[in-house]
């Protein structure tokens, strides 16, 4: 990224984020800026009852490790704008969706490492049922508040179960797709070996949407890395 653009992003981040965003670095909390970014990406992870605490931490560590990977950093900074916007959220029952790491922009290695550290600090909220529709609707609300002008908007959902609370996920999916948003899925197959088929039929959608299943929690790190490399590039 050229020095002038980097300085402008940092200044805008400081103005919009102020003191509240300082702990996550100078690019956090830019809710009132309209800088162009290559991608606005919502990472939405499952915190429902079927995910135990160890599995939840594995999800966090998988995403954190991926954002420290040089290949992900290169992908995030190789587009026309040389920067992406990303946020991290957790979800369970319908209405429980919670943004856990505010919107940040990633334009270099330092940004990516700060975001990874913020993910590792996330505290799990108590979960129960599984509402993929709530995850999609909550992610759409975050995209509406990104504060940038993204060339693409993507929702990245990981989870180990089917929608069993709130509206059918297909309605939320279709509403997002109509607005030009892509939803990609990372189904964890430990509870349901056919969950990837369900995600393909009722969860993912939009331009170039895809599913990258994780056969087990042990496969999660690799699945996250591969998925991010595809959707960021």
CATH, residue 120: 3.40.50.410
Mean pLDDT score of the chain? 89
Helices 169-178 and 132-143: angle between axes, nearest 10 degrees? 20
* Residue 158 within a domain: yes
- Domain for residue 22, yes or no? no
pLDDT digits (tens, 9 = 90+) for 40-99: 999 999 999 999 999 999 999 999 999 999 999 999 999 999 999 999 999 999 999 999
Residue 219 has pLDDT above 90, yes or no: yes
Determine, yes or no, domain membership for 143.
Answer: yes
| Residue of 121 and 27 predicted with greater confidence | 121
> Do 30 and 45 contact (CB within 8 A), yes or no?
no
Domain that holds residue 41: 34-232
Q: Is residue 28 part of a domain?
A: no
The answer to whether residue 173 is domain-embedded is yes
Provide the domain count of the chain.
Answer: 1
pLDDT, tens digit (0-9, with 9 covering 90-100), for 156-198: 999 999 999 999 999 999 999 999 999 999 999 999 999 999 9
Four-point Cα dihedral 28, 33, 37, 42, nearest 10: 50
With respect to residue 18, please indicate whether it lies within any of the assigned structural domains: no
Q: Among 3, 88, 82, 7, which Cα is nearest to 38's?
A: 82
Helix axes 53-67, 220-232, angle to 10 degrees: 40
Secondary structure E strands in the chain: 36-37, 40-46, 84-91, 98-106, 149-150, 153-159, 182-187
Q: Is 2 part of any domain?
A: no
pTM across the whole model: 0.86
pLDDT of residue 126: 87
Domain for residue 27, yes or no?
no
């Amino acid at each position: 990224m050229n020095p002038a653009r980097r300085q402008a992003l940092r200044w805008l981040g400081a103005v919009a984020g102020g003191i509240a965003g300082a702990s996550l670095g100078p690019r956090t909390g830019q809710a009132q800026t309209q800088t162009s970014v290559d991608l606005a990406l919502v990472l939405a992870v499952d915190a429902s009852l079927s995910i135990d605490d160890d599995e939840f931490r594995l999800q966090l560590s998988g995403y954190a490790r991926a954002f420290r990977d040089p290949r992900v950093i290169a992908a995030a900074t190789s587009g026309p704008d040389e920067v992406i916007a990303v946020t991290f959220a957790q979800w369970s029952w319908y209405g429980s969706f919670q943004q856990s790491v505010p919107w940040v922009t990633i334009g270099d290695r330092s940004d990516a490492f700060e975001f990874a550290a913020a993910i590792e600090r996330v505290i799990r909220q108590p979960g129960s049922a599984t509402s993929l529709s709530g995850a999609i609707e909550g992610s759409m609300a975050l995209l509406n508040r990104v504060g940038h002008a993204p060339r693409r908007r993507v929702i990245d959902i990981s989870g180990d179960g089917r929608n069993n609370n709130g509206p059918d996920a297909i309605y939320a999916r279709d509403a997002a797709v109509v607005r030009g948003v892509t939803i990609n899925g990372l189904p964890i197959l430990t509870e349901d070996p056919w969950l990837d088929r369900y995600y393909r039929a009722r969860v993912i959608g939009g331009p170039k949407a895809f599913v990258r299943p994780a056969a087990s929690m042990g496969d999660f790190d690799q699945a996250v890395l591969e998925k991010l490399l595809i959707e960021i590039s």
